[in-house]
Structure 1
Amino acid sequence: MLDLIKVFHQVVESGSFSQAAQALNMAPSSVARNIDNLEALIQTTLFKRSTRQLILTEEGSYFYKQSGKLVEDADILLAEMRGARDTPQGMLRISVFESFGNLCLAPIIPEFLQMYPDVQVDLDLDNKLVDLHSDNVDLAIRIGVPQDSGLKARKLLENRTLLTASPCYLNQHAVITQPDDLHGHNCLLISQERQRNHWYFNKGKSNRKVSVKGNFISKGGSPLLTAALKDCGVLLLSEWMVKPYLESKALVGILPDWTVNHWEDGSGEIFAIYKSAQYPKPHIRAFLDFLVKKLGQI
C-alpha cells in the first residue's frame, strides 16, 4: 500500500499522470492503474478527472495531508536502516538563474560528480521561476526565501551588491561623489517590469532613493556585466559577479561608503530551495552540503 501512496503523492505534486509518470520513470497507464488500485483499496475517490485537469476531491485532500507523515516516516526508517550504504545516486535536476549558474555552479559541478560518480546532474539555466512539483525539479537556486510553505530553503550566500564602472567610463564622464550624481549617468539596469527604476542607498541614518535611467536593460546580470566592461555605463550587481573584475581593476568601485541595493528592503540572500521532506534524498542532501561548503569560500 505504501508504494501506491507514494505514487499518489507524486501525482498530486506533479499535477498530472503524465508528469508523475516522467518523475517516477513509469508509463502513464501504470500510474493511472496504481491510483485506481489505491482508490479501490481505501474505497474512496481521490481525484476528479477530466481531459483538461486533475483535481483532488475533498477526501483526496484529506488523505494527501494525513498520509504525508506516513510517507516521510517510512523514508526516514529506510534511510536509518540503510545507513552508510545509502550512497548518493540518480538524476539530480537543478534550476538556477543564469548568471549564478554560469559563474558559481558550472565550475564546481565537475568536482561534485567526481566525488559522487553515480549521480547525474541536469542543469537548467533560466531566470524564470519554476514550480518544483509540476516542473519535476529537485533543487532550485533563487534569491530570497520561497513563498510556498510546502518547500524548504537552505541559505547559500549573502547577496551583497556593489556599484561599479570601468576606469575608461569614469574618466570620460562626470565624477560621482554622491548618489544623486547618478542622474547624469548611463546606468545598466536589471529588468524589474516597471516604468521607473530606482536604486536604494544607505549610509548610517541616511537613506536615498535615486531614480536611474540607462540604454541597456536585461533580466540577467551577465549581459550588463559585459556592457560595463566595454565602458557602457554604471553597474549595480552582486559582489560574486564583479569581484574578479574589481581585483583585476577592470572595474572600479563607486561610492564604497554607501550600501546600495536594487530593492528597498535589500538585495536578499541566495537560497537552495527543495521539496519539503524531513529526510531529503541522499544525492540532494549531498549536493546541498557540497554547495554550502564550496560557496562559503567565495
Structure 2
Amino acid sequence: MDWDKLRIFHAVADAGSLTHAGDKLNLSQSAVSRQIRGLEEQLNTNLFHRHARGLILTEQGELLFDATVAMSKRLDTAAARIRDSEEEVFGELRVTTTTGFGTLWLAPRLPKLYEKYPDLKVDLMLEERVLDLPMREADVAIRMKEPSQADLVRKKLMMIKMCMYASPAYLAANGTPQRLEDMSDHRLICQNTDSNQVHAGLNLIQQLMMHDVRSMLTVNNYFGVLQAVINNLGIGVLPDYLIQDFPDLVQVLPETESADVPVFLAYPEELRASKRVAAFKDFVQDEIITHRKLLREKESH
C-alpha cells in the first residue's frame, strides 16, 4: 500500500476536509483529491461519504483511519526514542495521574523538577480514566493500582491508606468522635460511591455510611474533599500522603483506615531508554524518599 497515499488519507480523515488537509500538507485540493481517489481505487472501496458540509468516513474508512492512527502513534514513539538517544533532558513529557494525586502531591513538587531541567515541558493530564500507554496516549502514568496493560515497565512507588481527617476548628466546634458510632453526629465528606476511586477507599466509605451519618458532602475527587475539610465543613476521607503538606489536619479515629493502596509508576517498554522518562522517574523516587523520611520524623516526635 502506498505510504504517501496513506499519509494524505490520514490528514483528510483527521481534518474532515480536502481543503484543510491540503493546507496542512502544502498540497492543492485537486492533488489531495487525486490521491484519495487513487487509494479508493487501490482498495476498491469508498473511504468517505461526500457531503456539502465536508467528508465523513465510511465504515471501511473508519477501519483504515484506526490503522493510520495506530501507525502515527508508533512513528511518534520511534521519533521520540531516536531523539531521546541523542538529546539532553528537554522537550515534552506527557504525564497522567489521578486528579487527587496530581493536584495534592505531584504538582506542588514540580518546581524541583523544573529547577533541575528548565527546558522540560510537562503536560500533566489529570483524570480518573486509565490512558493507553502502549498507544502513546501518555508517556508516564502514576496510578493507585498495578497497571494491567502489557509491554509496560512498572515500579511500585509507595503504599498509601485512606484515613479520616478534620480541621482543628471543626473539631473544636463539633467535638471529636471517639468511636465509629459517633459519626452519626458529624458531616462526612468523601468521594461519591459511584465515582471512580480506589476500592479500598470505597470500602471505608461504605463502612462509615453504615453508621447513620446525618449529613454528607460527596465530591468526585480528593481535591474537592480536601477543600471542604480545610474550610471546616466536616470529617473527610482522604489519602494519608497529603498530611505532609497539610500538617494542621487532625486524623480522626486513627484506628479506622483503609487497606493499603499501592502507587505505581509505569511507562511503555519502548521508552525505557528515554532521558525524559528517566529524569521524571528519578525525581518522583527522590520525592518519595523525602516524603517517607519526613513522615518517620513526624511519627518519632
TM-score band by shorter chain is: 0.5 to 0.7
1:36-185 superposed matches below 5 A: 86-124=87-125, 126-132=126-132, 136-173=137-174, 175-185=176-186
1:227 counterpart SS class = helix
Query: Partner letter of residue 110 of structure 2?
Result: I
1:268 aligns with 2:261: yes
Unpaired runs of at least 5, structure 2: 16-23, 50-54, 68-74, 292-301
Instruction: For 1:191 and 1:99, locate their aligned partners in 2 and report how far apart those are by CA, in whole Å.
Output: 14
Instruction: For 2:127 and 2:288, locate their aligned partners in 1 and report how far apart those are by CA, in whole Å.
Output: 20
CA contact (8 A) 1:164 1:236 kept: yes
CA contact (8 A) 2:183 2:208 kept: no
Query: Partner letter of residue 257 of structure 2?
Result: T
Among 243, 251, 254, which residue is 1:253 paired with? Answer: 251
1:236 counterpart SS class = strand
Q: 1:106 to 1:54 in 2, by over 3 A?
A: farther
Query: Partner letter of residue 226 of structure 1?
Result: Q
Q: Name the counterpart of 1:284.
A: 277
1:216-235 superposed matches below 5 A: 216-235=217-236
1:186 aligns with 2:187: yes
Instruction: For 1:251 and 1:114, locate their aligned partners in 2 and report how far apart those are by CA, in whole Å.
Output: 29
The two structures, once aligned, show a CA RMSD in angstroms of: 5.2
Q: 1:171 to 1:292 in 2, by over 3 A?
A: same
CA contact (8 A) 2:90 2:121 kept: yes
Q: What displacement does 1:231 show?
A: 1.9
TM-score under structure 1 normalisation? 0.61
1:297 aligns with 2:275: no
Q: 1:28 to 1:258 in 2, by over 3 A?
A: farther
2:127 counterpart SS class = coil
Query: What percent identity do the matched residue pairs reach?
Result: 21
**Which structure has the larger Rg?**
2
Instruction: For 2:288 and 2:276, locate their aligned partners in 1 and report how far apart those are by CA, in whole Å.
Output: 18
TM-score under structure 2 normalisation? 0.61
CA contact (8 A) 2:271 2:277 kept: no
Q: 1:114 to 1:232 in 2, by over 3 A?
A: closer
Query: Partner letter of residue 241 of structure 1?
Result: L
Instruction: For 1:55 and 1:267, locate their aligned partners in 2 and report how far apart those are by CA, in whole Å.
Output: 46
Query: Partner letter of residue 270 of structure 1?
Result: V
Structure in which a larger fraction of residues adopt helix: 2
CA displacement, residues 152-189 of structure 1 (integer Å, 9 cap, x when unaligned): 43323322222121233223335422223223321001
Query: Partner letter of residue 170 of structure 2?
Result: Y
Q: What displacement does 1:237 show?
A: 0.5
Unpaired runs of at least 5, structure 1: 19-26, 64-70, 202-207, 261-265
Q: What displacement does 1:92 show?
A: 0.9
Instruction: For 2:58 and 2:136, locate their aligned partners in 1 and report how far apart those are by CA, in whole Å.
Output: 16
